[in-house]
Structure 1
Protein backbone atom coordinates (compact mmCIF):
# COMPACT_ATOMS: atom_id res chain seq x y z
CA UNK A 1 0.00 0.00 0.00
CA UNK A 2 1.25 3.46 -0.88
CA UNK A 3 -0.12 6.43 1.05
CA UNK A 4 0.45 9.71 -0.77
CA UNK A 5 -1.16 11.97 1.88
CA UNK A 6 -1.64 10.33 5.31
CA UNK A 7 -4.53 12.62 6.23
CA UNK A 8 -6.47 11.84 3.00
CA UNK A 9 -7.58 8.20 2.55
CA UNK A 10 -8.56 8.88 -1.08
CA UNK A 11 -4.85 9.02 -1.96
CA UNK A 12 -4.24 5.31 -1.29
CA UNK A 13 -2.71 3.14 -3.99
CA UNK A 14 -2.79 -0.62 -3.50
CA UNK A 15 -0.08 -2.75 -5.10
CA UNK A 16 -0.32 -6.50 -5.74
CA UNK A 17 2.68 -8.38 -7.06
CA UNK A 18 3.86 -11.86 -7.95
CA UNK A 19 7.44 -13.12 -8.16
CA UNK A 20 8.35 -16.28 -10.02
CA UNK A 21 11.46 -17.92 -11.39
CA UNK A 22 11.86 -19.88 -14.63
CA UNK A 23 12.78 -22.68 -14.45
CA UNK A 24 11.16 -23.21 -11.07
CA UNK A 25 14.03 -25.33 -9.70
CA UNK A 26 17.12 -24.49 -11.74
CA UNK A 27 20.00 -26.94 -11.91
CA UNK A 28 23.47 -25.66 -10.98
CA UNK A 29 24.84 -23.61 -13.88
CA UNK A 30 21.43 -23.26 -15.60
CA UNK A 31 20.24 -19.86 -16.88
CA UNK A 32 17.41 -18.40 -14.79
CA UNK A 33 14.81 -15.68 -15.39
CA UNK A 34 13.22 -13.89 -12.43
CA UNK A 35 9.90 -12.17 -13.21
CA UNK A 36 8.04 -9.73 -10.96
CA UNK A 37 4.59 -8.74 -12.22
CA UNK A 38 1.31 -7.41 -10.95
CA UNK A 39 -0.95 -4.39 -10.85
CA UNK A 40 -1.83 -1.42 -8.70
CA UNK A 41 -5.15 0.20 -7.99
CA UNK A 42 -5.26 3.99 -7.99
CA UNK A 43 -8.35 5.81 -6.78
CA UNK A 44 -9.64 9.36 -7.17
CA UNK A 45 -7.08 11.78 -5.76
CA UNK A 46 -4.07 9.69 -6.83
CA UNK A 47 -3.94 10.66 -10.48
CA UNK A 48 -6.23 7.91 -11.78
CA UNK A 49 -9.22 8.63 -14.00
CA UNK A 50 -12.73 7.23 -13.62
CA UNK A 51 -12.33 5.08 -16.75
CA UNK A 52 -9.24 3.34 -15.42
CA UNK A 53 -8.18 2.42 -11.88
CA UNK A 54 -6.07 -0.70 -12.56
CA UNK A 55 -2.55 -0.35 -13.95
CA UNK A 56 -0.39 -3.39 -14.75
CA UNK A 57 3.38 -3.69 -14.53
CA UNK A 58 6.09 -6.24 -15.27
CA UNK A 59 9.84 -6.49 -14.65
CA UNK A 60 12.20 -9.35 -15.40
CA UNK A 61 15.89 -10.12 -15.33
CA UNK A 62 17.77 -13.07 -16.78
CA UNK A 63 20.80 -14.46 -15.00
CA UNK A 64 23.08 -16.16 -17.50
CA UNK A 65 25.28 -18.85 -16.02
Structure 2
Protein backbone atom coordinates (compact mmCIF):
# COMPACT_ATOMS: atom_id res chain seq x y z
CA UNK A 1 0.00 0.00 0.00
CA UNK A 2 1.22 3.49 -0.80
CA UNK A 3 2.39 5.91 1.84
CA UNK A 4 -0.17 8.32 0.37
CA UNK A 5 -3.48 8.21 2.17
CA UNK A 6 -6.54 10.42 1.91
CA UNK A 7 -8.45 11.04 5.10
CA UNK A 8 -11.52 13.23 5.01
CA UNK A 9 -14.63 13.44 7.13
CA UNK A 10 -15.22 13.69 10.83
CA UNK A 11 -15.87 11.01 13.41
CA UNK A 12 -18.62 8.66 12.26
CA UNK A 13 -18.52 9.97 8.68
CA UNK A 14 -17.48 7.75 5.82
CA UNK A 15 -14.15 8.99 4.43
CA UNK A 16 -14.17 9.80 0.75
CA UNK A 17 -11.43 11.14 -1.49
CA UNK A 18 -11.22 12.79 -4.88
CA UNK A 19 -10.34 10.35 -7.64
CA UNK A 20 -7.25 10.95 -9.80
CA UNK A 21 -8.03 11.99 -13.36
CA UNK A 22 -4.61 12.26 -15.05
CA UNK A 23 -3.65 9.46 -17.44
CA UNK A 24 0.04 8.73 -17.96
CA UNK A 25 1.45 6.70 -20.86
CA UNK A 26 5.13 5.79 -21.14
CA UNK A 27 6.52 4.64 -24.47
CA UNK A 28 10.07 3.77 -25.52
CA UNK A 29 10.63 7.38 -26.62
CA UNK A 30 8.34 9.61 -24.54
CA UNK A 31 6.05 10.09 -21.57
CA UNK A 32 2.58 11.55 -22.07
CA UNK A 33 0.31 13.05 -19.43
CA UNK A 34 -3.25 13.45 -20.68
CA UNK A 35 -1.99 13.10 -24.30
CA UNK A 36 0.59 15.91 -23.75
CA UNK A 37 4.17 14.83 -24.40
CA UNK A 38 6.50 15.77 -21.56
CA UNK A 39 9.87 16.57 -23.13
CA UNK A 40 13.39 16.58 -21.71
CA UNK A 41 12.79 13.86 -19.13
CA UNK A 42 15.90 13.02 -17.11
CA UNK A 43 16.98 9.49 -18.04
CA UNK A 44 16.17 6.96 -15.33
CA UNK A 45 13.94 9.34 -13.39
CA UNK A 46 10.57 7.73 -14.14
CA UNK A 47 9.39 5.73 -11.14
CA UNK A 48 6.00 4.06 -10.79
CA UNK A 49 4.31 2.59 -7.73
CA UNK A 50 1.18 0.66 -8.69
CA UNK A 51 -1.79 0.99 -6.36
CA UNK A 52 -5.09 -0.89 -6.09
CA UNK A 53 -7.93 -0.13 -8.52
CA UNK A 54 -5.52 0.63 -11.38
CA UNK A 55 -4.11 3.81 -9.80
CA UNK A 56 -0.39 4.60 -9.73
CA UNK A 57 1.99 7.04 -8.08
CA UNK A 58 4.20 8.37 -10.90
CA UNK A 59 7.36 10.36 -10.26
CA UNK A 60 9.59 11.86 -12.93
CA UNK A 61 12.10 14.64 -13.42
CA UNK A 62 12.39 16.85 -16.47
CA UNK A 63 14.42 19.87 -17.55
CA UNK A 64 12.36 23.07 -17.70
CA UNK A 65 13.18 26.26 -19.57
CA UNK A 66 12.24 28.27 -16.47
CA UNK A 67 10.59 27.95 -13.08
CA UNK A 68 8.70 30.44 -10.95
CA UNK A 69 6.36 30.45 -8.00
CA UNK A 70 3.29 32.69 -8.11
CA UNK A 71 1.12 33.52 -5.16
The answer to whether the superposition gives a TM-score over 0.5 is no
Q: Which has the larger radius of gyration?
A: 1
TM-score by length of 1: 0.29
- Normalization by structure 2: what TM-score? 0.27
Structure number with the higher strand fraction is 1
Higher relative contact order (CA 8 A, sep 6+): 1
